[in-house]
């Protein structure tokens, strides 16, 4: 790098020389953040390091492009054509950082009450997963919780055993450390969250027929507190959310005489139910679409196909409902009733910790009904979250982590009207910006930034 002021013999443009200095300063900042954490910043968060690295990477890419003769006009044209995919990448990087931060900090919030995710509850999960391998008995002690996520913990236990046994550290699965199981499971949770972001992008893009909607849905899912706060907990809702989002992706293909989308969506909904009982309500939008978007003459056949797929997925995830029906019924009867005013408690936690997502859902639903454009497509998306929220008022403990299951669906529902709002705002810009694709991209990113800011402020003042 050349840091002297360019002269006649330097051959470097002044802008490139300034860029070199800026990149060197950013690299030094990243090094300081890595060494010292964020102690000299007003708001402490490892996200500062991630943001600095992201800017450094962008500046480096820009420098390489300019040095290879790529013009700014060409870069602008590429961004205009591919910005939704770029937003997806940013959503994955940002969502990954948020989930990693939650994994490292393990915040003690009402989303992780001690009764279920404290040391005793966490160790109980690890013990149950290890006992399945030790005893070779894949029947859980109780079906109070659906077993698919516990089976995942058992598979992780087996993998840890093979890894450590091959290194000569342990001799039997009984020696697998509980903390090792939970550490591996945390990273599986992180990966599930990122998979959900990618699936939501694809589903929103198909459902709303808009890449802008896909980018918005991915951004909302990536940064929604409800979606990432459960990462450090053995929470089956993250697995169920990934399967539920994938189920909806299959639903976007439902039309005419196609059979595989109905069966595939039902199969994935059944697997999701094997992770969280509340996912059975995915059948509502599935059967709704089966009755309205397929060939009119044989609608009951299409409904039966979706139900058959669900039954197969549910049986694969929870064969105990057939193999040991009495134990399964006993497990269901052990589920405790929800405390009084549970729905109000969920709303308060929603308001306190993810005000941005809550506000954007209300505002976009209102916008859709005022404009009378997205009402048909928004109801199948809202049906599952609304019914699920009502069911939470009747069964189970108050644990806002359970809302992680519907956070992707809320993002999908808000994405279409938000994309339409971005287009409407662009139409009212001055003439030279009205037809510029990057203006729409800037508006979309601005909307996502406002949602994130509202959520941060909500947690600061109301949590």
pLDDT single digits (tens) 168-206: 788 877 888 888 888 888 899 999 999 999 999 999 999
Minimal CA–CA distance to 221: which of 401, 379, 98, 366? 98
Rank 31-35, 237-241, 387-391 by mean pLDDT and report only the highest: 237-241
User: Residues 404, 278: contact at Cβ < 8 Å?
Assistant: no
pLDDT at 324: 87
171 versus 67: the higher-pLDDT residue is: 171
Q: Are 237 and 276 in contact (CB under 8 A)?
A: yes
- At residue 114, the pLDDT reads 45
| Length of the chain as a residue count | 463
Q: Using N-to-C axis directions, what is the helix angle for 148-166 and 236-251, rounded to 10°?
A: 110
**pLDDT above 90 for 214:** yes
The count of other CB atoms within 10 Å of the CB of residue 150 is 20
Q: Are 406 and 385 in contact (CB under 8 A)?
A: yes
Note the pLDDT of residue 242: 96
39-48, 54-63, 113-122 — most confident range: 54-63
CA distance 208 to 227: 22
Quick one: what percent of the chain has pLDDT higher than 70?
Answer: 84
Q: Does residue 211 carry a pLDDT above 70?
A: yes
pLDDT band at 269 (very low <50, low <70, confident <90, very high): very high
Q: What is the CA radius of gyration of the chain?
A: 25
pLDDT over 90 at 257, yes or no: no
Residues of the chain with pLDDT > 90, as a percent, come to: 27
State the Cα–Cα distance between residues 417 and 399, nearest whole angstrom. 30
The angle that helices 355-371 and 375-391 make with each other, rounded to 10 degrees, is 140
Q: Quote the pLDDT of residue 220.
A: 93
Cβ(160)–Cβ(184) below 8 Å: yes
Q: Is 35's pLDDT higher than 80? A: no
Banded pLDDT at 221 (limits 50, 70, 90):
very high
Q: Most confidently modeled of 94-103, 197-206, 227-236, 330-339?
A: 197-206
Q: Does the structure show a pLDDT above 50 at 3?
A: no
Q: pTM for this structure? A: 0.82
Cβ–Cβ contacts within 10 Å for residue 6, how many? Answer: 15
Predicted confidence at residue 102, as pLDDT, reads 86
- Rounded to the nearest integer, the mean pLDDT of the chain is 82
pLDDT in tens, 408-435: 999 999 998 888 888 777 777 666 555 5
pLDDT number for residue 456 = 78
């Amino acid at each position: 790098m050349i840091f002297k002021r360019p002269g006649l013999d330097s051959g470097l443009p002044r802008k490139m020389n300034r860029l070199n200095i800026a990149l060197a300063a950013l690299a030094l900042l990243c090094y300081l953040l890595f060494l010292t954490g964020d102690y000299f910043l007003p708001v402490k968060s490892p996200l500062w390091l991630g943001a600095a690295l992201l800017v450094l990477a962008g500046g480096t890419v820009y420098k390489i492009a300019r040095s290879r003769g790529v013009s700014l006009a060409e870069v602008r044209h590429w961004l205009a054509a591919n910005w939704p995919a770029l937003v997806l990448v940013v959503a994955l990087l940002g969502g990954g950082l948020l989930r990693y931060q939650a994994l490292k900090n393990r915040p003690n919030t009402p989303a992780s009450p001690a009764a279920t995710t404290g040391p005793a509850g966490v160790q109980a999960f690890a013990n149950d997963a290890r006992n399945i391998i030790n005893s070779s008995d894949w029947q859980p002690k109780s079906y109070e919780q659906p077993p698919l996520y516990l089976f995942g913990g058992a598979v992780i236990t087996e993998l840890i055993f093979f890894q450590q046994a091959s290194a000569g550290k342990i001799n039997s699965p009984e020696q697998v450390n509980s903390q090792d199981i939970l550490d591996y499971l945390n990273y599986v949770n992180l990966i599930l969250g990122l998979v959900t972001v990618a699936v939501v992008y694809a589903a929103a893009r198909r459902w709303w027929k808009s890449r802008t909607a896909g980018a918005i849905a991915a951004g909302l899912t990536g940064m929604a507190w409800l979606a990432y706060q459960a990462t450090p907990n053995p929470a089956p809702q993250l697995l169920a959310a990934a399967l539920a989002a994938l189920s909806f992706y299959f639903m976007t293909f439902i039309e005419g005489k196609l059979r595989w989308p109905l069966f595939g969506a039902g199969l994935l909904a059944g697997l999701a139910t094997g992770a969280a009982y509340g996912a059975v309500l995915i059948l509502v939008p599935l059967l709704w679409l089966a009755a309205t978007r397929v060939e009119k003459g044989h609608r009951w056949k299409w409904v039966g196909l979706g139900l058959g797929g669900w039954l197969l997925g549910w049986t694969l995830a929870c064969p105990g409902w057939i193999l040991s029906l009495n134990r399964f019924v006993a497990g269901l009867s052990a589920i405790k009733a929800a405390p009084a005013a549970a729905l109000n408690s969920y709303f308060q936690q929603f308001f306190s910790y993810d005000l941005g997502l809550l506000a954007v859902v209300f505002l976009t639903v209102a916008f859709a009904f005022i404009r009378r454009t997205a009402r048909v497509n928004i109801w199948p998306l809202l049906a599952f979250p609304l019914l699920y929220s009502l069911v939470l008022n009747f069964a189970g403990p108050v644990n806002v982590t359970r809302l992680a299951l519907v956070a992707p669906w809320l993002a999908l529902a808000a994405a279409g009207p938000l994309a339409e709002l971005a287009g409407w705002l662009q139409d009212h810009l001055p003439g030279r910006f009205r037809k510029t694709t990057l203006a729409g991209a800037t508006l979309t990113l601005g909307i996502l930034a406002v949602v994130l800011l509202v959520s941060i402020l909500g947690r600061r003042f109301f949590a």
